[in-house]
């Protein structure tokens, strides 16, 4: 597993650039990943999505379904892609520090 | 000289069937020679390393790809299947070996010009290996690296006017039989509707919004040449409503032995002289055919459109003229709660562009399933959980005897409260006034 160094942090990541441990997440991680996920500037809307994903994951131990993410944040899927060009899985979940989506993707 | 020794794989170069091993070796050799002077964007020896890792798997009987992989292009949530080798030091050429799904033309008709353009792009930015085609229908490009994905996507869309296929919890790439392009049985223009629906539902195809995957397939007739009834969540099967058209002269020609039955499909063995009674009339599942003298008769009201007689005598019998399709819902592979084939939900619907009536049904279905479907629950499982009746209600179609094979045998029948005089709100004291403890 690769380790990336950024602003004094050591983040352990897999090939796809997902954090290996949710506990390692801190705001520097977001700053580090932003560019590779096609995001120029973090807005409150970005933050709202990340906060919800983290809360949901802490409470339920899984990432929410897309439908739930849309409902709770009030953002349509189209808008989520405007915020996170790679989408809620590869984009938002990665930035929020959640584990890599699995299954028949 | 091959990079890795592959004694087990070499065995698979023997025998008459086209050998995938010989083909991959040929591509490996072609890349090593590079006669066209291509500036390969991924390791030149990708094919050698693929054979190497495959030989290793043949030796120890285990796969050597790591679990999962999440890669893609900006704007889409699917289309690329990420894959990494678990022996990257030994086989650096396939350390990254992502698969790109490319949306195929309906019916898989190509020009060499288009295929050459595709091949040039893939040779430069990928392994040069493909799967023509994936089971869902996509052109499958096997093996490239993450940095090449956006490059491939740019060239695919800008130069080849071609898009990616689907993957993930979304609408997967629709597919069809070759339909009216060269089949006299086609009741619907399967290619046209497949193409139209692919375009209509692009957003659902590229950005996963569903509880799980969802597939469309379009069969021109009940023969099911694209197997929609088994391999698509929503299956469209062409049908006719009026009578089978009979050419009595051609029937006589079949009986007289001038035309071989089934288009000559059984010519490899002597099955004796064609016997219309034995091979057609007696095999008709509804027994709705008979001969009157030398005239073939069909009681079309009893015909269930099984295609047997038409398949056997294609020059004498034709599909009717009032055509449309049936819609069947819920086919899926075994995981999680068992395999399912499509269940008839709409026995007959007209199938003509712009397909407004069908699209309305699909929108109702999607809306319901996106709301009610559980995480990773195929629509067939949702149907099992909520009941066929609920699905028919959602689609707002009439309940029709044809949607069941047989009525239920158990008596656990739910009633709606408003259907029952007096409703559910009863007082036990009232009951006790008539019935002692």
Q: pLDDT per residue over B66-100, tens digit each?
A: 999 999 999 999 999 999 999 999 999 999 999 99
Adjacency order of strands within the sheet including B129-132: B80-81, B99-102, B139-142, B129-132
pLDDT of residue A105: 66
Residue with tokens 């049904």: B361
Say whether A87 and B70 touch across the interface (CB within 8 A).
Answer: no
User: What one-character DSSP code corresponds to residue B132?
Assistant: E
Q: A46: how many CB neighbours lie within 10 A of its CB?
A: 18
The residues, any chain, with a CB within 8 Å of residue A83's CB and separated by 6 or more, are A39, A43, A45, A46, A49, A75, A92
Any chain B CB within 8 A of the CB of A15? Answer: yes
Summarize the confidence of residues B125-137 as an average pLDDT: 98
Contact B125, B42 (CB under 8 A): yes
Give dist(CA B213, CA B232) in Å, integer.
10
- Parallel, antiparallel or unpaired: strands B317-318 and B245-246: antiparallel
Smallest Cα distance from B13 to chain A, Å: 32
- Is the peptide bond prior to B336 cis by the omega test (within 30 degrees of 0)? yes
pLDDT in tens, B221-280: 999 999 999 999 999 999 999 999 999 999 999 999 999 999 999 999 999 999 999 999
For residue B279, how many C-alpha atoms fall within 13 Å in the half-sphere facing its CB?
17
Say whether B71 and A16 touch across the interface (CB within 8 A).
Answer: yes
Chain A residues with CB under 8 Å of B75 CB are: 81, 85
Any chain A CB within 8 A of the CB of B334? Answer: no
pLDDT in tens, B287-333: 999 999 999 999 999 999 999 999 999 999 999 999 999 999 999 99
For residue B309, how many C-alpha atoms fall within 13 Å in the half-sphere facing its CB?
31
Summarize the confidence of residues A32-58 as an average pLDDT: 96
The beta-carbon neighbor of A16 closest among B69, B74, B169 is B69
Give dist(CA B70, CA B58) in Å, integer.
27
Chain B residues with CB under 8 Å of A67 CB are: 209, 211, 370-371
pLDDT of residue A101: 87
Tokens of A85: 């060009």
pLDDT in tens, B196-237: 999 999 999 999 999 999 999 999 999 999 999 999 999 999
> pLDDT band at residue B382, thresholds of 50, 70 and 90?
very high
Whether A93 is catalytic = no
Residue with tokens 């597993």: A1
Give dist(CA B94, CA B84) in Å, integer.
7
Give dist(CA B305, CA B390) in Å, integer.
28
Say whether B74 and A89 touch across the interface (CB within 8 A).
Answer: no
Tokens of B165: 């296929």
Tokens of B181: 């392009």
Any chain A CB within 8 A of the CB of B74? Answer: yes
**Comparing C-alpha atoms, which of B148, B144, B171 is closest to residue B47?**
B144
> pLDDT band at residue A102, thresholds of 50, 70 and 90?
confident
* Size (chain B), residues: 437
pLDDT beyond 70 at B361: yes
Give dist(CA B307, CA B223) in Å, integer.
7
pLDDT in tens, B106-127: 999 999 999 999 999 999 999 9
Any chain B CB within 8 A of the CB of A66? Answer: yes
Instruction: Point out which residues pair with B323 in neighbouring strands.
Output: B240
Chain B residue closest to A65 (CA)? B375
pLDDT in tens, B1-39: 689 999 999 999 999 999 999 999 999 999 999 999 999
Say whether A81 and B66 touch across the interface (CB within 8 A).
Answer: no
Tokens of A89: 């899985």
End-to-end Cα distance, chain B: 95
pLDDT of residue B2: 83
Give dist(CA B221, CA B305) in Å, integer.
9
Q: A48: how many CB neighbours lie within 10 A of its CB?
A: 15
Say whether B371 and A88 touch across the interface (CB within 8 A).
Answer: no
Contact B83, B99 (CB under 8 A): yes
3-state secondary structure B261-317: HHHHCCCCCCCCCCCHHHHCHHHCCCCCEEEECCEEEECHHHCCCCCHHHHHCCCCE
ipTM score assigned to the predicted complex: 0.91
- Is the peptide bond prior to B278 cis by the omega test (within 30 degrees of 0)? no
Q: B368: how many CB neighbours lie within 10 A of its CB?
A: 18
Summarize the confidence of residues A83-100 as an average pLDDT: 95
pLDDT of residue B1: 60
């Amino acid at each position: 597993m690769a380790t990336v160094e950024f602003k004094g942090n050591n983040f352990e990541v897999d090939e796809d650039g997902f954090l290996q441990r949710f506990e390692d997440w801190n705001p520097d991680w977001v700053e580090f990943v932003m560019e590779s996920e096609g995001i120029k500037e973090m807005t409150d809307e970005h933050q709202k999505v990340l906060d919800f994903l983290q809360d949901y994951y802490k409470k339920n131990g899984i990432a929410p379904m897309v439908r739930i993410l849309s409902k709770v944040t009030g953002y349509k899927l189209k808008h989520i892609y405007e915020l996170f060009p790679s989408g809620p899985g590869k984009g938002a979940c990665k930035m929020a520090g959640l584990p890599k989506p699995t299954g028949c993707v | 000289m091959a990079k890795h020794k592959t004694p087990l794989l070499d065995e698979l170069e023997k025998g008459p069937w086209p050998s995938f091993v010989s083909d991959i070796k040929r591509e490996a050799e072609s890349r090593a020679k590079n006669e066209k002077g291509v500036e390969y964007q991924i390791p030149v020896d990708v094919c050698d390393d693929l054979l190497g890792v495959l030989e290793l798997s043949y030796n120890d009987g285990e796969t050597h790809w790591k679990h999962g992989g999440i890669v893609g292009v900006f704007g889409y949530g699917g289309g690329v299947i990420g894959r990494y080798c678990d022996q990257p030091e030994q086989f650096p050429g396939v350390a990254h070996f992502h698969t790109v799904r490319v949306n195929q033309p309906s019916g898989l008709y190509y020009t060499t010009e288009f295929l050459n353009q595709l091949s040039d792009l893939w040779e430069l930015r990928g392994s040069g290996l493909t799967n023509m085609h994936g089971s869902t229908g996509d052109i499958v490009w096997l093996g490239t690296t993450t940095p090449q994905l956006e490059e491939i996507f740019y060239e695919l869309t800008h130069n080849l006017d071609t898009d990616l296929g689907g993957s993930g919890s979304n609408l997967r790439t629709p597919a069809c039989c070759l339909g009216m392009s060269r089949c006299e049985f086609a009741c619907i223009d399967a290619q046209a509707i497949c193409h139209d629906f692919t375009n209509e539902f692009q957003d659902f195809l590229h950005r996963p919004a569903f509880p799980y995957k969802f597939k469309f397939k379009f069969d021109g007739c009940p023969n099911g040449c694209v197997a929609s009834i088994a391999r698509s969540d929503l299956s469209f099967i062409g049908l006719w409503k009026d009578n089978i058209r009979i050419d009595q002269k051609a029937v006589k020609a079949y009986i007289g032995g001038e035309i071989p039955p089934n288009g000559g499909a059984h010519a490899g063995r002597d099955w004796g002289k064609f016997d219309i009674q034995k091979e057609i009339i007696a095999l008709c599942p509804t027994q709705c055919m008979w001969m009157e003298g030398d005239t073939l008769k069909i009681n079309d009201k009893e015909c269930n459109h099984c295609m047997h007689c038409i398949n056997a005598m294609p020059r004498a019998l034709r599909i009717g003229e009032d055509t449309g399709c049936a819609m069947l819902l819920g086919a899926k592979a075994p995981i999680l709660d068992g395999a399912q084939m499509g269940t008839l939900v709409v026995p007959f619907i007209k199938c003509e562009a712009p397909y407004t009536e069908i699209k309305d049904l699909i929108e109702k279905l999607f809306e319901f399933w996106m709301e009610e479907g559980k995480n990773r629950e195929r629509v067939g499982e949702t149907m099992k959980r909520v009941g066929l009746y609920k699905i028919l209600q959602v689609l707002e179609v009439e309940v029709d005897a044809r949607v069941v094979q047989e009525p239920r045998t158990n008596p656990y029948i739910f009633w709606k409260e408003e259907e029952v005089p007096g409703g559910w709100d009863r007082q036990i004291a009232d009951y006790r006034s008539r019935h002692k403890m």
